[in-house]
Chain A
Protein backbone atom coordinates (compact mmCIF):
# COMPACT_ATOMS: atom_id res chain seq x y z
CA UNK A 1 0.00 0.00 0.00
CA UNK A 2 3.01 2.27 0.52
CA UNK A 3 3.06 3.53 -3.05
CA UNK A 4 -0.42 4.97 -2.55
CA UNK A 5 0.63 7.91 -0.37
CA UNK A 6 1.05 10.44 -3.21
CA UNK A 7 -2.43 9.56 -4.45
CA UNK A 8 -3.93 9.85 -0.96
CA UNK A 9 -2.17 13.21 -0.43
CA UNK A 10 -3.40 14.57 -3.74
CA UNK A 11 -6.94 13.40 -2.95
CA UNK A 12 -6.83 15.30 0.34
CA UNK A 13 -5.69 18.49 -1.44
CA UNK A 14 -8.07 18.24 -4.39
CA UNK A 15 -10.97 17.35 -2.06
CA UNK A 16 -10.23 20.38 0.09
CA UNK A 17 -10.04 22.54 -3.06
CA UNK A 18 -13.42 21.14 -4.11
CA UNK A 19 -14.95 22.10 -0.74
CA UNK A 20 -13.52 25.62 -0.99
CA UNK A 21 -14.59 26.18 -4.61
CA UNK A 22 -18.07 24.72 -4.07
CA UNK A 23 -18.67 26.87 -0.98
CA UNK A 24 -17.38 29.96 -2.81
CA UNK A 25 -19.82 29.31 -5.64
CA UNK A 26 -22.70 29.64 -3.19
CA UNK A 27 -23.77 26.00 -2.79
CA UNK A 28 -25.15 24.94 0.61
CA UNK A 29 -22.97 22.74 2.86
CA UNK A 30 -25.55 19.90 2.73
CA UNK A 31 -25.49 19.97 -1.08
CA UNK A 32 -21.69 19.91 -1.16
CA UNK A 33 -21.47 17.01 1.32
CA UNK A 34 -24.14 15.09 -0.63
CA UNK A 35 -22.14 15.51 -3.86
CA UNK A 36 -19.03 13.96 -2.32
CA UNK A 37 -20.99 11.17 -0.59
CA UNK A 38 -23.26 10.20 -3.49
CA UNK A 39 -21.46 11.15 -6.71
CA UNK A 40 -17.86 10.67 -5.47
CA UNK A 41 -16.16 11.71 -8.73
CA UNK A 42 -13.68 14.60 -8.63
CA UNK A 43 -13.79 16.04 -12.14
CA UNK A 44 -17.58 15.59 -12.28
CA UNK A 45 -18.11 17.41 -9.00
CA UNK A 46 -15.99 20.37 -10.15
CA UNK A 47 -17.94 20.40 -13.42
CA UNK A 48 -21.25 20.34 -11.51
CA UNK A 49 -20.18 23.37 -9.44
CA UNK A 50 -19.29 25.29 -12.59
CA UNK A 51 -22.51 24.32 -14.39
CA UNK A 52 -24.64 25.19 -11.32
CA UNK A 53 -22.99 28.62 -11.16
CA UNK A 54 -23.94 29.15 -14.82
CA UNK A 55 -27.53 28.06 -14.00
CA UNK A 56 -27.27 25.26 -16.57
CA UNK A 57 -30.48 23.19 -17.00
CA UNK A 58 -30.58 19.91 -15.02
CA UNK A 59 -30.46 17.61 -18.10
CA UNK A 60 -27.28 19.41 -19.25
CA UNK A 61 -25.67 18.90 -15.83
CA UNK A 62 -26.56 15.20 -15.75
CA UNK A 63 -25.54 14.61 -19.39
CA UNK A 64 -22.19 16.36 -18.82
CA UNK A 65 -21.46 14.18 -15.79
CA UNK A 66 -22.49 11.07 -17.73
CA UNK A 67 -20.06 12.03 -20.52
CA UNK A 68 -17.22 12.77 -18.11
CA UNK A 69 -17.71 9.37 -16.44
CA UNK A 70 -18.21 7.25 -19.56
CA UNK A 71 -14.53 6.30 -19.22
CA UNK A 72 -15.51 4.25 -16.15
CA UNK A 73 -17.22 1.81 -18.51
CA UNK A 74 -13.77 1.01 -19.87
CA UNK A 75 -12.18 0.83 -16.42
CA UNK A 76 -14.87 -1.46 -15.00
CA UNK A 77 -14.60 -3.66 -18.09
CA UNK A 78 -10.85 -3.85 -17.62
CA UNK A 79 -11.12 -4.84 -13.91
CA UNK A 80 -13.84 -7.39 -14.61
CA UNK A 81 -11.61 -10.47 -14.97
CA UNK A 82 -10.33 -9.90 -11.41
CA UNK A 83 -13.64 -8.90 -9.83
CA UNK A 84 -15.47 -11.75 -11.53
CA UNK A 85 -14.46 -13.97 -8.58
CA UNK A 86 -16.80 -12.02 -6.29
CA UNK A 87 -20.55 -12.59 -5.90
CA UNK A 88 -22.74 -10.02 -7.67
CA UNK A 89 -23.56 -8.01 -4.52
CA UNK A 90 -19.84 -7.53 -3.72
CA UNK A 91 -19.13 -6.56 -7.33
CA UNK A 92 -21.87 -3.92 -7.20
CA UNK A 93 -20.42 -2.65 -3.92
CA UNK A 94 -16.93 -2.47 -5.48
CA UNK A 95 -18.31 -0.50 -8.44
CA UNK A 96 -19.39 2.43 -6.26
CA UNK A 97 -15.77 3.11 -5.26
CA UNK A 98 -14.33 2.89 -8.78
CA UNK A 99 -12.39 6.08 -9.54
CA UNK A 100 -9.46 6.95 -11.82
CA UNK A 101 -7.17 6.60 -8.80
CA UNK A 102 -8.46 3.30 -7.42
CA UNK A 103 -8.49 1.90 -10.96
CA UNK A 104 -4.89 2.98 -11.57
CA UNK A 105 -3.65 1.56 -8.25
CA UNK A 106 -5.54 -1.73 -8.63
CA UNK A 107 -4.36 -2.16 -12.22
CA UNK A 108 -0.76 -1.61 -11.09
CA UNK A 109 -1.23 -4.21 -8.34
CA UNK A 110 -2.69 -6.82 -10.71
CA UNK A 111 -0.05 -6.15 -13.41
CA UNK A 112 2.67 -6.84 -10.85
CA UNK A 113 1.08 -10.23 -10.34
CA UNK A 114 -0.97 -9.37 -7.25
CA UNK A 115 -4.18 -11.34 -6.76
CA UNK A 116 -5.59 -9.75 -3.61
CA UNK A 117 -8.90 -7.94 -4.01
CA UNK A 118 -8.45 -6.58 -0.47
CA UNK A 119 -5.89 -4.22 -2.05
CA UNK A 120 -8.59 -2.66 -4.23
CA UNK A 121 -11.17 -2.42 -1.45
CA UNK A 122 -8.76 -0.98 1.14
CA UNK A 123 -7.42 1.64 -1.21
CA UNK A 124 -10.74 2.57 -2.85
CA UNK A 125 -12.58 2.95 0.47
CA UNK A 126 -9.69 4.93 2.02
CA UNK A 127 -10.00 7.33 -0.93
CA UNK A 128 -13.75 7.67 -0.29
CA UNK A 129 -13.29 8.46 3.41
CA UNK A 130 -10.46 10.90 2.70
CA UNK A 131 -12.35 12.65 -0.13
CA UNK A 132 -15.34 13.25 2.15
CA UNK A 133 -13.23 14.46 5.07
CA UNK A 134 -11.37 16.83 2.74
CA UNK A 135 -14.66 18.15 1.34
CA UNK A 136 -15.84 19.10 4.84
CA UNK A 137 -12.50 20.78 5.66
CA UNK A 138 -12.69 22.72 2.38
CA UNK A 139 -16.22 23.95 2.82
CA UNK A 140 -15.46 25.20 6.33
CA UNK A 141 -12.38 27.03 5.04
CA UNK A 142 -14.19 28.18 1.88
CA UNK A 143 -16.88 29.98 3.86
CA UNK A 144 -14.21 32.14 5.52
CA UNK A 145 -12.23 33.37 2.50
CA UNK A 146 -14.51 36.10 1.11
CA UNK A 147 -14.63 37.30 -2.52
CA UNK A 148 -12.98 34.53 -4.58
CA UNK A 149 -12.03 36.63 -7.61
CA UNK A 150 -9.84 38.89 -5.50
CA UNK A 151 -7.17 36.23 -4.85
CA UNK A 152 -7.66 34.36 -8.10
CA UNK A 153 -9.29 31.49 -6.15
CA UNK A 154 -11.94 31.18 -8.88
CA UNK A 155 -9.09 30.15 -11.22
CA UNK A 156 -8.13 27.20 -8.98
CA UNK A 157 -10.83 25.02 -10.55
CA UNK A 158 -9.69 25.92 -14.08
CA UNK A 159 -6.03 25.30 -13.18
CA UNK A 160 -7.00 21.93 -11.65
CA UNK A 161 -8.72 20.88 -14.89
CA UNK A 162 -5.74 22.00 -16.99
CA UNK A 163 -3.42 19.98 -14.75
CA UNK A 164 -5.64 16.88 -14.98
CA UNK A 165 -5.60 17.16 -18.79
CA UNK A 166 -1.81 17.63 -18.98
CA UNK A 167 -1.21 14.59 -16.75
CA UNK A 168 -3.72 12.52 -18.76
CA UNK A 169 -1.98 13.08 -22.13
CA UNK A 170 -0.77 9.71 -23.42
CA UNK A 171 -0.32 10.22 -27.15
CA UNK A 172 0.07 13.20 -29.53
CA UNK A 173 -3.56 13.05 -30.66
CA UNK A 174 -4.65 13.71 -27.04
CA UNK A 175 -3.00 17.14 -27.22
CA UNK A 176 -4.89 17.98 -30.40
CA UNK A 177 -8.16 16.69 -28.93
CA UNK A 178 -7.67 18.82 -25.79
CA UNK A 179 -6.91 22.05 -27.69
CA UNK A 180 -9.77 21.59 -30.16
CA UNK A 181 -12.22 20.81 -27.33
CA UNK A 182 -11.12 23.85 -25.29
CA UNK A 183 -11.19 26.28 -28.24
CA UNK A 184 -14.52 24.99 -29.56
CA UNK A 185 -16.13 25.23 -26.12
CA UNK A 186 -14.68 28.72 -25.61
CA UNK A 187 -15.97 29.87 -29.00
CA UNK A 188 -19.45 28.46 -28.31
CA UNK A 189 -19.54 30.17 -24.90
CA UNK A 190 -18.55 33.51 -26.47
CA UNK A 191 -21.26 33.03 -29.09
CA UNK A 192 -23.82 32.74 -26.29
CA UNK A 193 -24.27 28.95 -26.33
CA UNK A 194 -22.65 28.35 -22.94
CA UNK A 195 -25.13 25.68 -21.79
CA UNK A 196 -24.32 23.32 -24.66
CA UNK A 197 -20.69 24.42 -25.13
CA UNK A 198 -19.02 21.76 -22.96
CA UNK A 199 -21.06 18.78 -24.03
CA UNK A 200 -20.90 19.67 -27.75
CA UNK A 201 -17.15 20.31 -27.79
CA UNK A 202 -16.48 17.33 -25.52
CA UNK A 203 -18.46 14.94 -27.72
CA UNK A 204 -17.05 16.20 -31.05
CA UNK A 205 -13.32 16.55 -30.27
CA UNK A 206 -12.65 12.82 -29.58
CA UNK A 207 -13.63 12.08 -33.20
CA UNK A 208 -10.12 13.35 -34.03
CA UNK A 209 -8.67 10.46 -31.99
CA UNK A 210 -10.69 7.91 -33.99
CA UNK A 211 -8.96 8.98 -37.19
CA UNK A 212 -5.52 9.82 -35.75
CA UNK A 213 -2.62 7.46 -36.35
CA UNK A 214 -1.32 5.62 -33.32
Chain B
Protein backbone atom coordinates (compact mmCIF):
# COMPACT_ATOMS: atom_id res chain seq x y z
CA UNK B 1 0.00 0.00 0.00
CA UNK B 2 2.91 2.31 0.74
CA UNK B 3 4.12 1.75 -2.83
CA UNK B 4 0.80 2.97 -4.23
CA UNK B 5 1.15 6.13 -2.13
CA UNK B 6 4.78 6.65 -3.21
CA UNK B 7 3.92 6.28 -6.91
CA UNK B 8 0.85 8.51 -6.51
CA UNK B 9 2.95 11.19 -4.82
CA UNK B 10 5.59 10.93 -7.57
CA UNK B 11 2.92 11.42 -10.25
CA UNK B 12 1.22 14.46 -8.65
CA UNK B 13 4.58 16.06 -7.86
CA UNK B 14 5.75 15.68 -11.46
CA UNK B 15 2.42 16.96 -12.79
CA UNK B 16 2.61 20.28 -10.91
CA UNK B 17 6.24 20.70 -11.96
CA UNK B 18 5.65 20.00 -15.64
CA UNK B 19 2.16 21.28 -16.39
CA UNK B 20 3.04 24.97 -16.83
CA UNK B 21 6.00 23.99 -19.06
CA UNK B 22 3.92 21.62 -21.18
CA UNK B 23 0.83 23.73 -21.83
CA UNK B 24 0.36 27.39 -22.63
CA UNK B 25 -2.12 29.19 -20.40
CA UNK B 26 -3.68 32.40 -21.61
CA UNK B 27 -3.97 35.37 -19.29
CA UNK B 28 -2.75 35.77 -15.71
CA UNK B 29 -3.95 34.37 -12.40
CA UNK B 30 -6.29 36.67 -10.46
CA UNK B 31 -4.50 38.56 -7.64
CA UNK B 32 -6.36 36.66 -4.91
CA UNK B 33 -5.45 33.27 -6.38
CA UNK B 34 -1.75 34.06 -6.61
CA UNK B 35 -1.73 35.35 -3.01
CA UNK B 36 -3.39 32.11 -1.93
CA UNK B 37 -0.83 29.99 -3.82
CA UNK B 38 2.08 32.03 -2.43
CA UNK B 39 0.93 31.47 1.17
CA UNK B 40 0.10 27.79 0.62
CA UNK B 41 3.56 26.21 1.22
CA UNK B 42 4.02 28.08 4.52
CA UNK B 43 0.54 27.03 5.66
CA UNK B 44 0.95 23.35 4.75
CA UNK B 45 4.35 23.00 6.40
CA UNK B 46 3.16 24.88 9.51
CA UNK B 47 0.11 22.61 9.62
CA UNK B 48 2.45 19.61 9.71
CA UNK B 49 4.20 21.14 12.73
CA UNK B 50 1.00 21.79 14.74
CA UNK B 51 0.04 18.22 15.69
CA UNK B 52 3.67 17.23 16.43
CA UNK B 53 4.02 20.17 18.86
CA UNK B 54 0.54 20.26 20.45
CA UNK B 55 -0.19 16.54 20.47
CA UNK B 56 3.00 14.45 20.12
CA UNK B 57 2.19 10.72 20.21
CA UNK B 58 -1.52 11.62 20.10
CA UNK B 59 -1.86 13.13 23.61
CA UNK B 60 -1.70 16.74 24.83
CA UNK B 61 1.92 17.85 25.23
CA UNK B 62 3.38 18.30 28.71
CA UNK B 63 5.28 21.37 27.55
CA UNK B 64 8.62 20.14 26.18
CA UNK B 65 7.63 20.37 22.48
CA UNK B 66 6.12 23.92 22.52
CA UNK B 67 9.15 25.24 24.46
CA UNK B 68 11.56 23.55 22.05
CA UNK B 69 9.53 24.86 19.07
CA UNK B 70 9.86 28.41 20.42
CA UNK B 71 13.60 27.92 20.74
CA UNK B 72 13.82 26.67 17.13
CA UNK B 73 11.90 29.72 15.86
CA UNK B 74 14.20 32.08 17.81
CA UNK B 75 17.38 30.28 16.72
CA UNK B 76 16.51 30.16 13.00
CA UNK B 77 15.23 33.76 13.00
CA UNK B 78 18.48 34.88 14.65
CA UNK B 79 21.11 32.71 12.90
CA UNK B 80 19.22 32.21 9.59
CA UNK B 81 20.44 28.62 9.74
CA UNK B 82 18.24 25.54 9.45
CA UNK B 83 20.92 23.31 10.92
CA UNK B 84 21.43 25.50 14.02
CA UNK B 85 17.68 25.42 14.63
CA UNK B 86 17.42 21.65 14.28
CA UNK B 87 20.33 21.02 16.65
CA UNK B 88 18.91 23.49 19.23
CA UNK B 89 15.46 21.90 18.97
CA UNK B 90 16.61 18.29 19.28
CA UNK B 91 18.87 19.01 22.26
CA UNK B 92 16.17 21.12 23.96
CA UNK B 93 13.44 18.52 23.56
CA UNK B 94 15.72 15.71 24.79
CA UNK B 95 16.57 17.72 27.94
CA UNK B 96 13.02 19.03 28.58
CA UNK B 97 11.48 15.56 28.31
CA UNK B 98 13.48 14.48 31.38
CA UNK B 99 11.22 16.67 33.53
**18 contacts across the A-B interface (CB closer than 8 A):** A39-B9, A44-B13, A52-B5, A80-B20, A91-B18, A91-B21, A156-B90, A158-B49, A158-B69, A160-B86, A161-B48, A165-B42, A177-B43, A181-B44, A189-B51, A190-B54, A201-B46, A210-B39
Contact A74 B42 (CB under 8 A): no
Q: Is A120 an interface residue (CB 8 A)?
A: no
A194 close to chain B: CB less than 8 A: yes
CB pair A62–B8 under 8 Å, yes or no, is yes
Given A58-B4, A159-B85, verify A181-B47 contact (CB < 8 Å).
yes
Contact with B along A111-153 (1 / 0, CB 8 A): 0000000000000000000000000000000000000011111
Contact A95 B17 (CB under 8 A): yes
Dominant secondary structure of chain A at its interface with chain B: helix
Q: Residue of A at shortest CB range from B9?
A: A65
How many angstroms between the C-alpha atoms of A144 and B36 in the bound complex?
42
Contact in complex: B36, A158 (CB < 8 Å): no
With contact pairs A61-B9, A165-B49 given, residues A70 and B89 touching in the complex (Cβ less than 8 Å):
no
Q: Digit string of B51-91 for contact with A (CB within 8 Å is 1, else 0)?
A: 11111101010000100110011001100101101101111
CB nearest to A94 among chain B residues: B21
Contacts of A88 in B (CB 8 A): 22
User: Which residues of chain B are within 8 angstroms of A46 by Cβ–Cβ distance?
Assistant: 48
Q: Are B40 and A202 in contact (CB under 8 A)?
A: yes
Check if B44 sits within 8 Å of A158, measured CB to CB. no
Size class of the A contact interface (CB-based, 8 Å): 35 or more
**Range of interface residues on chain B?**
35 or more
What is the minimal beta-carbon distance from A30 to any residue of chain B, in angstroms? 9
**Nearest chain B CB to A67's CB is how many angstroms away?**
5
Which residues, 32 to 77 on A, are CB-close (under 8 Å) to B?
Answer: 34-35, 38-41, 43-44, 46-48, 50, 52, 58, 61-62, 64-74, 76-77
Q: Does A29 contact B (CB under 8 A)?
A: no
Contact B86 A206 (CB under 8 A): no
In contact, A73 and B43 (Cβ under 8 angstroms) = no
Contacting pair B44 A198 (CB below 8 A) = yes
**A:151-170 near B, CB below 8 Å:** 151-169
A151 to B22, CA, bound (A): 46
